[in-house]
Amino acid sequence: MADVLDQSEVDALLNAVSSGEVATEGGDHSGVGEEDSSASVEIRTYDFKRPERVSKDQMRALEGLHEGFSRNLGAALSSYLRTIVEVKIRSIEQLTFAEFTYSLPTPTSFTLLSASPLEGQICMEVSPLIIYPIIDRMLGGSNAELYVPQRPLTQIEQRLANRIIERAIDALTEAWENIAEITFEVLQHESNPQLVQIVPPNEVVVVINFEVKMGDRAGSMSLCVPFNVIEPLIHNLTTHDWFSFKRKQQHDIQQDSLLDNLGDAKLRIRAYLAETTIKVSDLLSMAPGDVLKSKKEVTDDLVLQIEGKSKFAGKVGQFRDHRAFQITRQAKPAEKI
């Protein structure tokens, strides 16, 4: 029969295991070892009900894309309302559609937009705290003692708000044309966001929150883009591709601007028949009818210089009673006159 350990032997064995003098089966599982191993492992929480379907690079690309939208919209509203309107991004995050709708006030200005040729719809929400001051400004008010009513927009107010929505759509189309040619159209207006279900409540959406300021009035504007709408273009939304496209676009704009500004500049052009040298005494004794000799053949092309630089080669002739130069090729860098 196996020996049975008494209580003092059991206590001694437990103390030896805890101190590391005795190795347990399967390796060291003492408290010190567990602390060291856990310290080297990064643990992050993950909610399976809210998967992050858009990567961080793609979120940064969306943020950069809509920064251009905010600048264009601010400039358009400032020009239309004859006052300074500032629009800037406040945050961008991934939520479920239910969380987005529950976070909005009721009533509010809620607009559904189609994004052809993409399937699905996106949402644009403008807070009553800023939409009513804008409407008051459009009607000639000063917003000094404006009361913001807690009611849906009337038909007249909605028609005025549509002019703001139209300018927002134009700015949104201009921003998204860097990724794809998308046509945004208004489908529906609603005052209660919870009555609209464009996607299932647990579907992931990207919400871009903006802050709109006009004088001493400020309010929020939100753009909700469901993931299934931008899924066909999601792989194009990378930070590297986005910034490289912006650099290319800026280069094209600068080139067009330079061409427009320099297009009417006047340049001095000269066509040289030949080049030779003579003595000063021969130059002083020259008279009409004298012949100058050069090493250039009669059949060789003449060089055309623009502001002293050899650019083209060709033939001298006459066109409609005017002296003319017909360009046949570009001049070589080391070509002699």
pLDDT digits (tens, 9 = 90+) for 126-178: 999 999 999 988 888 876 777 888 888 999 999 999 999 999 999 999 888 87
| Radius of gyration, CA atoms only, the chain | 38
Q: Give residue 32's pLDDT.
A: 47
pLDDT tens digits for range 67-103: 989 999 999 999 998 899 999 999 999 888 888 988 8
Q: Considering Cα of 73, then 75, then 78, then 84, what sign does the dihedral take? A: positive
Per-domain residue ranges of the chain: 56-251, 269-284+296-330
CATH topology of domain 56-251: Chemotaxis protein chec (3.40.1550)
Quote helix, strand, coil % in the chain, to nearest 5: 40, 25, 35
Predicted TM-score of the model (pTM): 0.57
Are 137 and 216 spatial neighbours (Cβ–Cβ below 8 Å)? no
Residue corresponding to tokens 């004794």: 285
- A 10 A CB-CB count for 123 gives 25
Length of the chain: 337
pLDDT at 61: 85
Q: What's residue 251's pLDDT?
A: 59
Nearest to 302 by CA among 276, 337, 268: 337
Say how many Å lie between the first and final Cα of the chain, rounded: 118
Question: Residue 177: is it exposed, middle or buried by C-beta count within 10 angstroms (0-12/13-18/19+)?
Answer: exposed
Residue 17 CA, chain-centre distance (Å), reads: 61
The answer to whether residues 54 and 228 touch, using CB atoms and an 8 Å cutoff, is: no
> So what's the pLDDT on residue 1?
46
Could you read off the pLDDT tens digit of each residue along the chain, which spans 337 residues?
A: 456 677 777 777 777 777 766 665 555 444 444 455 555 677 766 656 555 677 788 888 888 888 989 999 999 999 998 899 999 999 999 888 888 988 888 888 999 999 888 888 999 999 999 999 999 888 888 767 778 888 889 999 999 999 999 999 999 998 888 788 889 999 989 888 888 888 888 888 999 999 999 988 899 999 999 988 888 887 777 644 555 555 555 556 777 777 777 777 888 888 877 778 888 888 888 888 888 888 777 777 888 888 878 888 888 888 888 888 888 888 876 777 7
Spell out the residues 6+ positions from residue 176 whose beta carbon is closer than 8 angstroms to its own: 65, 182
Query: Three-state SS for 224?
Result: strand
Side-chain half-sphere exposure of 199, counting CA atoms within 13 A:
24
